[in-house]
Amino acid sequence: MQAERPLIGISVGRIPLNDRFIDGTQRDYGDRIADAGGFPVQLLGRTDLPLSTILPHLDGIVLPGGGDIAPELYGAEPAAETGGVDIERDRAEITLFAEAQAAGLPILAVCRGIQLVNVARGGTLVQHLPAVTSEPHLIVERRRELVHTVHIDAESELATIIGADDLGVNSLHHQAVDRVGRGLRPVAWAEDGTIEGLEHRDRRIVAVQWHPEQLPDQSREMRLFAWLIEQAGRRLPPRDRAGGGSWFRWR
């Protein structure tokens, strides 16, 4: 019998395609989860779907990249450069984050994900980094390359996971964390001081601004997914998931 794989929920958004929408995100997230030993499951960003149906069956969560978060959710007026906003997804993910945290699930947040976590905890965002720094952060054409270095707090969970306090990363964002949310602390920074990593004090939430899923040849980056699966694996049966039995388990 094959070893049971932890189920990892990936929140997804609506992607416009011609005259319709597709629910999804980049395949890289699912591939990295599967490569690390997990089983990826997509979660639609809808506020009318009760998380109590699915959350008891999950072992971990990935909050992935995507469009900008609605500025009204952190008390700001939208800048001209803010775009790709889907406020229903924002609200659904904020609820998902809160309930997953309350359930003790490990959470890995990537790019938009770190921003979502910060907003969910009452923080704010820099809406357009070129307005406050001359260092480029949106380098789309080099998404699978290491384009700058982040410095990591040596005492952080992130440093323990990565095994270093400096790390080369890609850079695909024009927004970033501004005021840090409740219970979070910055643990990684770009050379210009832009926050590139956050953790919750219980060390069950690790959030990064870069895209490790797009750097599969970088072993240190892949340790983030290994961490998620290791943490999630500790939640596997034996147990009855809130009366759900074992109907939702793959072996």
Q: What residues are annotated to the active site?
A: 111, 211, 213
Structure tokens at 95: 């609820």
Find out whether the peptide bond into 238 is cis, omega within 30 degrees of 0.
yes
Joined together, the tokens standing for residue 225 give 């997914």
**What is d(CA 171, CA 42) in angstroms, rounded to the nearest whole number?**
24
In one-letter notation, the amino acid at residue 85 is: V
β-sheet bridge partners, residue 152:
188
How far out from the chain centre does Cα 118 lie?
11
Question: Is 177 within 8 Å of 116 (Cβ atoms)?
Answer: no
Is beta strand 107-110 parallel, antiparallel or unpaired with respect to 205-208?
Answer: parallel
Q: From start to end of the chain, where are the E strands?
A: 7-17, 20-24, 39-44, 60-63, 107-110, 125-126, 148-152, 166-169, 176-177, 184-189, 195-200, 205-208
Sign of the alpha-carbon dihedral angle for 54, 56, 58, 61: positive
Could you tell me where the DSSP H helices lie in the chain?
Answer: 27-35, 87-102, 112-120, 157-162, 219-233
d(CA 148, CA 165): 14
